[in-house]
Chains A and B, each alone.
Chain A
Amino acid sequence: GNSVTQMEGPVTLSEEAFLTINCTYTATGYPSLFWYVQYPGEGLQLLLKATKADDKGSNKGFEATYRKETTSFHLEKGSVQVSDSAVYFCALSDYGQNFVFGPGTRLSVLP
């Protein structure tokens, strides 16, 4: 079946550091890929998405590129802020009735 694997957390960075959170997936066909962010005490918010190979999703300084050859969708940000501290979920939706979330990666950014 479909699955999403994310790097284990927690990830702790200093403010202005470069962020990468790795995400790889297993799916048949050509799923859509998503990154969600969850701030403490809140629901999940869609951060960015990509619907086909080589698409780059971007939002709020975050970027991720849909790489079909490596089945990856790594999240990057050039300079993180304390306000980026949250849990980040990679997810996929394929053309069946499957929406699969990764386990989440907790990011802590220190001032």
Chain B
Amino acid sequence: NAGVTQTPKFQVLKTGQSMTLQCAQDMNHNSMYWYRQDPGMGLRLIYYSASEGTTDKGEVPNGYNVSRLNKREFSLRLESAAPSQTSVYFCASSLGTSGYEQYFGPGTRLTVT
């Protein structure tokens, strides 16, 4: 039982390049989330998927797109990376969106130069 896995662990991009961050969970959870964590800013929600087939914007969605590929997988895409997107990205999952704890992956450390 791996929980929530994320790939890659580290990535360096040049401004304007694109990439996709992958996330998978094996806990049969319905809901999945993408956060970014910046020094002094805490965790900020980018997008979430309450259930398979649905996605919704969070607090900071600009510059990102997501795909809920199936119940297990939720990917985050940066179409044209900017230095402001340098951050640590965390994927999380939960049984549902109301009252349930979230379980986090180990994170992806992204640097955009």
Contacts and interface: CB of A to CB of B under 8 A. Distances in A.
B74 to A, nearest CB: 15
Contacts of B48: 97
Contact of B42 (A34, A46, A94, A103): A103
Contacts of A97: 48, 50, 56, 97-98
A111 interface: no
A42 B108 CA distance: 10
Interface residues of A, number: 22
B101 interface: yes
Chain B contact residues: over half helix, strand or loop, or mixed? strand
Nearest to B44: A101
Interface string A84-96: 0000010001111
B107 A43 contact: yes
Contacts of B90: 43-44
A100 to B, nearest CB: 9
Given A43-B90, A89-B43, A104-B42, A99 B104 contact: no
A84 to B, nearest CB: 19
A24 interface: no
Interface of B: 4, 33, 42-43, 45, 48, 50, 56, 90, 92, 94, 97-107
10 contacts: A44-B43, A46-B103, A49-B101, A89-B43, A93-B97, A93-B101, A97-B98, A99-B97, A99-B102, A104-B42
